[in-house]
Structure 1
Amino acid sequence: MINKCSIDNIGGMEFATFKLKEGVTESRLIELSRRVEAEFLCYQEELILHFLVRGADGVYADVAIASSQEKAEEYCQQWLDNMVALEYLELFDKESVNMTFWSRIN
């Protein structure tokens, strides 16, 4: 998990829900998430938090909180140019992915 948290710095977030591909384990998801954080996300200066959560029925969410919605979108786009991030994304069942972006309003 990345946590450079000051509530005043939070301005936007990416919230992506997904299921894992058949045969992919939660431990593999966590392992690759940690690699993405260590090898890619930790260099994003305005990324404040990044973490995974698990819901019901095998649904997970990848959450990235940044200084603005625009920064969250920018960082998300950069995943497509990073080898470790692409490896992480390959774990997802593509049909199950729902990615949304949010702006803080208060």
Structure 2
Amino acid sequence: MILNGNLERFGGMEFAVFRLKQGVSEEQLIEMSKEVEKGFLREQEELISHFLLRGKDGIYADVAIATTQQKAEEYCQQWLTDPLALAYLDLIEPDSVNMTFWAKVN
């Protein structure tokens, strides 16, 4: 979902790969992602886009695109204090998370 602008402003991103906790459905993840976008992420002016990807074997990726890598990292830290974001994180198996940050170079 494009949140605040267009992809021409893209300068950095967060890419987190994870598995859902036992008993959590993809539908629950999608619904909670929409809630986080409406109630938390829309307020982040330099966050351009946020979306989920599904890979093979129950692997998901959460992607947040921002104006800079630094902004992507800052927004990621804010997830730890926002009630909606914490509810989203509660759906994820903590030991499965692999989070990386990227800066656009071209």
Length-normalised TM-score, structure 2:
0.96
Aligned residues: 106
Q: Which amino acid aligns with 1:74?
A: E
Structure 2: 5+ residue stretches without partners: none
Task: Compute the displacement of 1:104 (Å).
Answer: 0.1
- Aligned counterpart, 2:23: 23
Structure 2 residue aligned with 1:14: 14
Structure 1 counterpart SS, 2:88: helix
Query: CA separation in 2, counterparts of 1:29 and 1:17?
Result: 13
Contact 2:15 2:101 in 1 (8 A): yes
Aligned residue for 1:55?
A: 55
**What is the root-mean-square deviation in Å for CA atoms of aligned residues?**
1.0
Q: Secondary structure, in 3 states, of the residue corresponding to 1:2?
A: coil
Q: Give runs of ≥4 in structure 1 deviating > 6 Å.
A: none
Alpha-carbon separation, structure 2, partners of 1:66 and 1:86: 20
**Higher helix residue share:** 1
